[in-house]
């Protein structure tokens, strides 16, 4: 078996600096938090234990189920989002790309259209 | 642009869209078996097409060499397609009876297959990642496809969370490798390996960990038992054979083409983890009473066996791994086809559910026994030939202790495999006889299990048939 | 066209019974009738195929020198390539015919014989497996394939002898058979391995060229050792002295099994092996002498034991050993033709005799002692007729089958060595005597009152009739159709009759039968007094020369002593380790399962734990490599 040849004298390379930066960045807040944690007076009351919601008392349970429709809308939005992301650069360079790119874009849009069709058909677009 | 090179992938994608459209056009309350039939026919055609792609000379590429269709990739693609084809075949009944979104099930199966095929051909880290995620995300959903079962949903969430963690680690590893080598193409990474330093090496290990997760190598295996048990049985089958084989395919390619020079680094690692898997997987499997869970642990051990072949790091080892992966597909097909029927008919896969199967459905009991014996490596099943190839390959490279661990652990594995056989073949006590419902075996399942048994026995008696194919697969690998 | 098709599909012949075995074993084990139907269907198909193959061989250009070979690569390890396939030459064709026909007839017979046995399904499965292994052995293209099927045959004999596994004696007999033949198999395996090492191939066709060349260059000394080792296998399997002890005990199995395996087909595997590898043996004079003398001695030796035995199947068992000795003798004196001819005729008449014995035992409600029978002639006329034909055939009286084949052997022996010829003739005399004794005591005389015997049912009767016809005509057919031009080694042999030799043995046989008639029917002399007069000899013969006892003694002193030491080691050292390991496995299993508590937090924690350890390993590794290179960082 061959021996690995490393660039001589380098252990971490450019990532080393980055790693040290992160380490120091981590140390600063920790250094700030530790004295506070050690010095703080501890007097827990019931008031302090309840969830903080902009100073307003919470009403009912805190576990609330949101309507699934929100998520579905967000997901379908992604379909158009992606379409736009690809269509923009494609449209800008369309002149140079030629017929092949046109066909490819049709394929791409077609696949996304299938997704939209699916969502439509399954009733994801109707707010129930 | 040589579109024929990615013909397989295009065809699978098309098939997926067709199946999706068919599902949308089909009324909700009719049988969705015909969708399954459409996908099977499509897959069969694609399978035939892939045979035509085998070649002797230079391998076709696509995307400027990022996508590489050599015989090695073709072999694995065929493996995935065969696995998928027969899984659909034996799960038609299951899908129809137990799943709510039947059409989507087939679509997602096909998208998982597409991901696997992309992985097999991937020649750079990005393509690998795209294929891997396509497959994995499909599997997240498939694992939770049985919406009425809490186990299934739980398994899906667990798989998603642990899988996301592993993806993060792997992606981080890839970025470190890119940082060190300045490229993501395997061959260029190999060329720039002299630029590596410690961070690059950490990246390599993180990529390896990502694949360890896919192969459910101990200690990255924790998800496997829960997910295997909770997932719908056909999906479990695919996790065991497809997902794992796809991981192996690209794992081997990365190790041998991107990091061959780092052999000193990853070879001992591979050997050590292979031993760990064989020992741990087999030992933990002993205690299990649920067959699917037992097969999950056994699949950990099987991954260990295949890693034994990879630790040989030569053509013989590679051939052995390919051989083993293929025969493992057939063994799994048989075992999981039986479990699928049991799951459909008796609503569970615990050892209690298969008790006395030999009387209720002798064919299934026979198939199960043969498949499990193949996994244990008893002649004249294919498993014996496979293990023989694996261990001879690794012994010739000097890892005698590894082969020894493999032998001993194979012996231990016979114990729990035969416990299943015993449960099936022993006489029932009266109360068990009352509980044991008759088992209806659909024709499709019969066909699937017969194919798997014939393949298992045929390859065991005459391994040369498959061995010549693996020869062809390996020959174009080393350019 | 047709013959080509038959030859290229010869591999189906063993495959069909094998399929029957699998099918019965997995699916219809519990259905007696279905199992029997499957087994018989497959056997008939395989018999038809065998007929086709024989026809192809007879009509085609296939001779002993130019066999039809078809093979496919079976597996390959390193440079060793092992093939599997089918080799068809006249010898194979003859064996295929004999084995398929006898096993088919025996299976039909078993339908009647096993009708009331709850394990009949299992029985048919094993019979099919046996037929498959024997047929696979016969068409083997090399020693490796042959050895695989050889062992399978051994396994089948173990399974079938121990078929009544709730009987202690059956279990013991099964073990005895298995272990005794294993001793022979070990020698065979050594021989095969030596061949592989020396020649790098095990293929019969290739060895046929290589062995004579090797002997031409290096002399016979090394090959003699190989030949002797190879011959140890047949000694075990074909019940030659001193490994014959298992065969009489093997009669514990059901009678059809005795007929099929321990008389007609399986035990001749050894003879067949010698015949198949004749190109090795015939080139080694020392080995040939050993074979001839061992065969002659076994023939005589077993015949003297058979003189005094009382259970019907035991007499037949010793006669089998004796006849196998004949075949070996023929091989040893250089006549493959005579040996194979006798093998064929013997298969028919010995199967016939055993099946008759089975019918008698069944009719007598499991009474096996011939002296407790008697007068069955009137009660079982068909069986009696069949048995008579069988006895006449084995005694070598014209025109029955044994006459031609035995004379062939005696003629061949006379041409080589007079002592061997005399030994053979003497054995022929003894054979006629004890077989006549068997016949007369069983069927003549007065039936004991309340004897329940009646004629057998149709399933058992028809195979008897077919075999009886074959026992009548197969010798004649072989003689006139020119068996010697068909199965031979070296030059084709004339199947002529040396009238002096034939006359002598015929006269001797007639005398022996007359003698038996006088003693056992006419009671001119008392059998008891004769046995008293030959006191020591009689006791020796009756107790089978105490060979079993001798082996027991050997075992007690050597094996048991060693066994006790090993047992102690096993109990305290090996078991200690194994039990410890098993306990360790249990403990580990518990620990691992404890870790697997179902909470995904723990899973991810373990996952990242693994990541940290491995990354640490990689950094450590990099550090070490850098230090080795002497660089700083």
Does the distance separating the beta carbons of A6 and C632 come in below 8 Å? no
Does the distance separating the beta carbons of A8 and C625 come in below 8 Å? no
Helix (H, G, I), strand (E, B) or coil at B124: strand
A76-89 average pLDDT score: 87
- Closest to C349 measured CA to CA, from C382, C304, C396, C303: C396
B308-332 average pLDDT score: 91
What 3 state SS string does chain A have? CCCCCCCCCCCCHHHHHHHHHHHHHHHHHHHHHHHHHHHCCCCCCHHHHCCCCCCCCCCCCCCCCCCHHHHHHHHHHHHHHHHHHHHHHHHHCHHHHCHHHHHHHHHHHHHHHHHHHHHHHCCCCCCC
Does the distance separating the beta carbons of C631 and A9 come in below 8 Å? yes
- Closest to C448 measured CA to CA, from C517, C505, C374: C374
Determine the distance in angstroms separating the CA of B260 from the nearest CA of chain A, rounded to an integer. Answer: 9
Does the distance separating the beta carbons of B195 and A4 come in below 8 Å? no
- The residues of A whose Cβ lies within 8 A of any Cβ of C are 3-4, 6, 8-12
B16-36 average pLDDT score: 89
Neighbour-count burial for C131-149, b at 16+ CB within 10 Å, e otherwise: bbbbbbbbbbbbbbbbbbb
CA distance C192 to C143: 7
Report the run of H or E that residue C371 belongs to, with start and end.
none
* Residue labelled with tokens 């008891």: C528
Give me the residue from B24, B179, B264 closest to A4, CB to CB.
B264
Give CA separation, A10 vs A6, A14, B191, C622, C627, in Å. Answer: 8, 9, 19, 10, 11
B323 has pLDDT over 90: yes
Side-chain half-sphere of C569: how many Cα atoms within 13 Å?
A: 6
Is C121:C35 a contact under the CB 8 Å cutoff?
yes
State the pLDDT at residue B455. 92
Instruction: Name the token pair of B284.
Output: 């933990």
CA distance C527 to C437: 11
Neighbours of chain A (3+ CB pairs under 8 A): B, C
- Preceding peptide of C242 cis, ω within 30°: yes
Is C314:C351 a contact under the CB 8 Å cutoff?
no
* Residue labelled with tokens 């005459």: B462
More confident residue, C559 or A2: C559
Residue of B nearest to C594 (CA): B284
- Closest to B35 measured CA to CA, from B51, B19, B24, B46: B19
Does the distance separating the beta carbons of C631 and A6 come in below 8 Å? yes
Report the run of H or E that residue C289 belongs to, with start and end.
helix C285-306
Phi/psi of residue C558, nearest 5 degrees: -90, -60
Q: How many helices (H) and strands (E) does chain C have?
A: 28, 2
State the pLDDT at residue C448. 66
Is B384:B414 a contact under the CB 8 Å cutoff?
no
Residues of A in contact with B63 (CB under 8 A): none
Mutate which of B178, B179, B198 to disrupt the A interface (most A C-beta within 10 Å)?
Answer: B198
State the pLDDT at residue B138. 95
Q: Rounded to the nearest 5 degrees, what angle is found at the Cα of A81, between the Cα atoms of A76 and A84?
A: 140
Determine the distance in angstroms separating the CA of B280 from the nearest CA of chain C, rounded to an integer. Answer: 8
B260 has pLDDT over 50: yes
Determine how many CB atoms are found less than 10 A away from the CB of residue A124. 18
Give me the residue from B162, B202, B284 closest to C589, CB to CB.
B284
State the pLDDT at residue A1. 35
Residue of B nearest to C30 (CA): B359
CA distance A127 to B93: 34
CA distance C217 to C236: 32
State the pLDDT at residue C258. 81
Phi-psi region of C78 (alpha: psi -120 to 50; beta: other; left: phi over 0): left
Residues of B in contact with A10 (CB under 8 A): 197
Q: Which residues of chain C have pLDDT under 50?
A: 631-633
Residues of B in contact with C586 (CB under 8 A): 286
B262 touching C, CB under 8 A?
no
Give CA separation, C499 vs B22, B322, C431, in Å. Answer: 89, 69, 20
CA distance C295 to C275: 14
Determine the distance in angstroms separating the CA of A16 from the nearest CA of chain C, rounded to an integer. Answer: 10
- The residues of C whose Cβ lies within 8 A of any Cβ of A are 622-623, 625-626, 628-629, 631-633
Residues of B in contact with A75 (CB under 8 A): none
Does the distance separating the beta carbons of C623 and A8 come in below 8 Å? no
CA distance B190 to B183: 10
Report the run of H or E that residue C163 belongs to, with start and end.
none
Report the DSSP beta bridge partners of residue C73. Answer: C83
Give CA separation, B432 vs B126, B348, B352, B421, in Å. Answer: 54, 15, 9, 17
Give me the residue from A3, A4, A11 closest to C633, CB to CB.
A11
Residues of A in contact with C632 (CB under 8 A): 9
Neighbour-count burial for B151-168, b at 16+ CB within 10 Å, e otherwise: ebbbbbebbbbbbebbbe
Helix (H, G, I), strand (E, B) or coil at C263: helix
Residue of C nearest to B458 (CA): C74
State the pLDDT at residue B302. 93
More confident residue, C413 or B434: C413
CA distance B327 to B323: 6
Residue of A nearest to C621 (CA): A4
Determine the distance in angstroms separating the CA of C618 from the nearest CA of chain B, rounded to an integer. Answer: 6
Does the distance separating the beta carbons of C84 and B205 come in below 8 Å? no
Does the distance separating the beta carbons of A1 and B263 come in below 8 Å? yes
CA distance B181 to B178: 5
CA distance B89 to B83: 10
Does the distance separating the beta carbons of A16 and B263 come in below 8 Å? no
Determine the distance in angstroms separating the CA of C631 from the nearest CA of chain A, rounded to an integer. Answer: 5
DSSP B438: -
Give CA separation, C142 vs A67, C74, C79, C189, in Å. Answer: 75, 12, 17, 13
Phi-psi region of C157 (alpha: psi -120 to 50; beta: other; left: phi over 0): alpha
State the pLDDT at residue C632. 42
* Residue labelled with tokens 């990529």: B207
Give CA separation, C559 vs C171, C182, C570, in Å. Answer: 20, 16, 15
DSSP B242: I
Neighbour-count burial for C538-549, b at 16+ CB within 10 Å, e otherwise: eeebeebeeeee
CA distance B382 to C214: 38
Is C300:C328 a contact under the CB 8 Å cutoff?
no
- Closest to B10 measured CA to CA, from B77, B57, B88, B86: B77
Instruction: Name the token pair of C69.
Output: 């070979």
Give me the residue from B17, B21, B197 closest to A11, CB to CB.
B197
Does the distance separating the beta carbons of C585 and B198 come in below 8 Å? no
Does the distance separating the beta carbons of A15 and B196 come in below 8 Å? no
Report the run of H or E that residue C137 belongs to, with start and end.
helix C120-138
Residues of B in contact with C26 (CB under 8 A): 362-363, 365-366
pLDDT 10s digits, B232-257: 999 999 999 899 999 999 999 999 98
Is C134:C18 a contact under the CB 8 Å cutoff?
no
Report the DSSP beta bridge partners of residue B61. Answer: B68
Phi/psi of residue B67, nearest 5 degrees: -125, 120
Longest dimension (CA), chain A: 74
Whats the size of chain C, residue-wise? 633
State the pLDDT at residue C408. 81
Determine the distance in angstroms separating the CA of B16 from the nearest CA of chain A, rounded to an integer. Answer: 10
A-B contacts at Cβ under 8 angstroms: 48
Residues of A in contact with B265 (CB under 8 A): 4
ipTM for this prediction: 0.90
Residues of B in contact with C606 (CB under 8 A): 219, 222
pLDDT 10s digits, A32-62: 999 988 988 888 888 777 777 777 777 777 7
Does the distance separating the beta carbons of C625 and A11 come in below 8 Å? no
Confidence of residue B367 (pLDDT cuts 50, 70, 90): very high
Highest mean pLDDT among A76-80, B392-396, C109-113, C334-338: B392-396
B156 has pLDDT over 70: yes
State the pLDDT at residue A4. 47
Determine the distance in angstroms separating the CA of A122 from the nearest CA of chain B, rounded to an integer. Answer: 8
State the pLDDT at residue A5. 47
Does the distance separating the beta carbons of C588 and B283 come in below 8 Å? yes
Side-chain half-sphere of A35: how many Cα atoms within 13 Å?
A: 5
State the pLDDT at residue B478. 65
Does the distance separating the beta carbons of C592 and B283 come in below 8 Å? yes
B175-190 average pLDDT score: 88
Give me the residue from C74, C603, C621 closest to B201, CB to CB.
C621
Is C338:C415 a contact under the CB 8 Å cutoff?
no
Report the run of H or E that residue B397 belongs to, with start and end.
none
More confident residue, A65 or B169: B169
């Amino acid at each position: 078996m061959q021996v690995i040849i490393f660039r001589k004298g380098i252990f971490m390379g450019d990532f080393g600096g980055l790693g040290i930066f992160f380490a120091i960045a981590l140390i600063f807040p920790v250094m700030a938090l530790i004295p506070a944690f050690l010095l703080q007076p501890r007097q827990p009351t019931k008031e302090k234990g309840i969830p903080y919601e902009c100073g307003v008392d919470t009403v009912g349970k805190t576990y609330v189920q949101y309507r699934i429709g929100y998520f579905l809308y967000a997901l379908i939005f992604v379909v158009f989002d992606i379409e736009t992301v690809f269509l923009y650069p494609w449209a800008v360079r369309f002149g140079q790309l030629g017929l092949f790119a046109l066909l490819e874009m049709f394929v791409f849009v077609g696949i996304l259209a299938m997704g939209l069709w699916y969502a439509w058909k399954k009733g994801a677009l109707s707010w129930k | 642009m040589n579109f024929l090179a990615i013909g397989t992938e295009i065809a699978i994608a098309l098939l997926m869209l067709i199946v999706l459209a068919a599902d949308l056009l089909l009324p909700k309350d009719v049988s969705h078996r015909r969708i399954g039939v459409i996908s099977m026919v499509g897959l069969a055609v694609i399978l035939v097409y892939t045979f035509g792609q085998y070649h002797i000379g230079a391998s076709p590429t696509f995307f400027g060499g990022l996508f590489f269709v050599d015989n090695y990739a073709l072999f694995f693609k065929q493996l995935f397609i065969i696995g998928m084809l027969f899984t659909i075949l034996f799960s038609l009944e299951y899908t129809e009876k137990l799943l709510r979104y039947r059409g989507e099930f087939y679509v997602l199966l096909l998208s998982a297959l597409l991901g696997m095929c992309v992985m097999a051909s991937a020649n750079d880290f990005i393509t690998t990642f795209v294929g891997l995620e396509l497959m994995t995300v499909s599997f997240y959903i498939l694992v939770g496809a049985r919406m009425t079962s809490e186990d299934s949903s739980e398994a899906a969430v667990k798989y998603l969370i642990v899988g996301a963690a592993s993806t993060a680690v792997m992606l981080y590893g890839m970025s470190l490798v890119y940082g060190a080598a300045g490229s993501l193409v395997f061959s260029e990474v190999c060329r720039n390996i002299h630029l590596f330093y410690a961070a690059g090496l950490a990246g390599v290990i993180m990529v390896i960990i990502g694949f360890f997760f896919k192969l459910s190598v101990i200690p990255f295996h924790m998800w496997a038992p829960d997910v295997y048990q909770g997932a719908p049985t056909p999906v479990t089958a695919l996790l065991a054979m497809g997902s794992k084989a796809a991981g192996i395919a690209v794992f081997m390619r990365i190790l041998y083409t991107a990091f061959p020079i780092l052999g000193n680094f990853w070879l001992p690692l591979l050997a050590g983890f292979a031993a760990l898997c064989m020992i741990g997987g087999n030992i933990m499997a002993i205690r299990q009473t649920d067959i699917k869970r037992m097969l999950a642990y056994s699949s950990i051990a099987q991954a260990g066996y295949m890693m034994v072949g990879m630790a040989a790091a030569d053509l013989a080892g590679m051939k052995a791994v390919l051989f083993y992966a293929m025969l493992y597909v057939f063994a799994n097909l048989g075992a999981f086809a039986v479990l699928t029927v049991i799951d459909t008919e008796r609503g569970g896969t615990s050892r209690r559910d298969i008790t006395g199967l030999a009387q209720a459905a002798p064919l299934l009991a026979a198939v199960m026994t043969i498949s499990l014996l193949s996994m244990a490596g008893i002649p004249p099943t294919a498993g014996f030939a496979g293990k023989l190839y694996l261990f001879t390959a690794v012994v010739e490279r000097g890892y005698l202790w590894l082969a020894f661990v493999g032998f001993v652990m194979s012996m231990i594995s016979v114990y729990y495999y035969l416990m299943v056989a015993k449960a099936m073949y022993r006489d029932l006590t009266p109360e068990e006889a009352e509980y044991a419902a008759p088992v209806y075996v659909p024709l499709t399942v019969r066909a699937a299990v017969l194919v798997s048994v014939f393949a298992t026995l045929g390859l065991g008696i005459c391994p040369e048939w498959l061995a010549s194919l693996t020869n062809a697969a390996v020959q174009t690998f080393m350019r | 066209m047709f013959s080509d098709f038959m030859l290229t599909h010869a591999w189906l012949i063993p495959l069909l019974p094998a399929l029957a075995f699998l099918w019965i074993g997995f699916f219809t084990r519990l259905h007696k009738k279905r199992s029997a139907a499957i087994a018989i269907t497959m056997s008939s198909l395989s018999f038809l195929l065998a007929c086709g193959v024989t026809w192809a061989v007879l009509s085609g250009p296939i001779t002993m020198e130019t066999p039809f070979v078809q093979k496919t690569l079976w597996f390959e390890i390193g440079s060793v390539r092992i093939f599997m396939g089918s080799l068809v030459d006249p010898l194979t064709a003859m064996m295929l015919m004999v084995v398929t026909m006898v096993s088919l007839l025996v299976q039909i017979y078993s339908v009647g014989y096993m009708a009331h046995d709850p394990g009949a399904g299992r029985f048919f499965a094993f019979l099919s497996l046996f037929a498959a292994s024997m047929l696979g052995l016969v068409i083997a293209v090399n020693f490796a394939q042959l050895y695989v099927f050889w062992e399978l045959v051994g396994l089948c004999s173990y399974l079938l002898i121990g078929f009544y596994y709730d009987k202690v004696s059956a279990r013991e007999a099964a073990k005895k058979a298995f272990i005794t033949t294993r001793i022979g198999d070990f020698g065979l395996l050594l021989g095969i391995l030596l061949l592989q090492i020396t020649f790098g191939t095990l293929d019969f066709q290739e060895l046929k060229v290589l062995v004579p060349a090797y002997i031409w260059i290096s002399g016979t000394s090394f090959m003699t050792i190989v030949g002797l080792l190879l011959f140890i296998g047949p000694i075990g399997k074909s019940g030659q002295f001193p490994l014959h002890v298992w065969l009489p005990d093997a009669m514990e199995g059901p009678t059809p099994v005795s007929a099929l395996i321990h008389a007609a087909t399986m035990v001749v595997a050894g003879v067949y092996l010698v015949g198949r590898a004749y190109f090795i043996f015939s080139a080694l004079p020392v080995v040939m002498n050993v074979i001839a003398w061992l065969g002659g001695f076994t023939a005589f030796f077993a015949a003297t034991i058979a003189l005094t035995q009382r259970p019907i199947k035991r007499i037949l068992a010793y006669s089998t050993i004796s006849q196998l000795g004949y075949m070996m003798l023929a091989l040893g004196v250089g006549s493959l033709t005579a040996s194979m001819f006798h093998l064929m005729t013997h298969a028919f008449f010995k199967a016939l005799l055993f099946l008759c014995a089975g019918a008698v035992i069944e009719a007598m409600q499991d009474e096996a002692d011939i002296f407790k029978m008697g007068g069955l002639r009137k009660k079982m006329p068909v069986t009696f007729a069949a048995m008579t034909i069988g006895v006449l055939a084995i005694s070598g009286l014209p025109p029955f089958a044994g006459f031609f084949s035995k004379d062939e052997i005696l003629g061949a022996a006379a041409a080589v060595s007079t002592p061997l010829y005399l030994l053979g003739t003497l054995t022929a005399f003894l054979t006629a005597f004890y077989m006549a004794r068997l016949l007369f005591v069983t069927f003549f005389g007065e039936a004991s009152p309340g004897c329940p015997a009646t004629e057998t049912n149709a399933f058992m009767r028809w195979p008897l009739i077919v075999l009886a016809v074959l026992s009548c005509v197969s010798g004649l057919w072989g003689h006139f159709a020119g068996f010697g031009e068909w199965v031979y080694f070296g030059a084709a042999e004339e199947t002529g009759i040396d009238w002096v030799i034939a006359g002598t043995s015929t006269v001797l046989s007639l005398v022996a039968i007359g003698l038996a008639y006088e003693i056992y029917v006419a009671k001119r002399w008392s059998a008891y007094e004769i046995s008293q007069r030959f006191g020591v000899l009689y006791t020796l013969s009756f107790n089978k020369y105490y060979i079993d006892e001798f082996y027991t003694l050997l075992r007690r002193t050597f094996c048991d002593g060693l066994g006790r030491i090993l047992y102690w080691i096993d109990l305290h050292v090996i078991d200690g380790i194994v039990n410890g390991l098993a306990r360790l496995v249990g403990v580990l299993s518990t620990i691992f399962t404890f870790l697997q508590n179902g909470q995904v937090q723990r899973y991810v924690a373990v996952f990242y734990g693994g990541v940290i350890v491995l990354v640490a390993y990689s950094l450590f590794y990099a550090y070490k490599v850098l230090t080795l290179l002497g660089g700083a960082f």
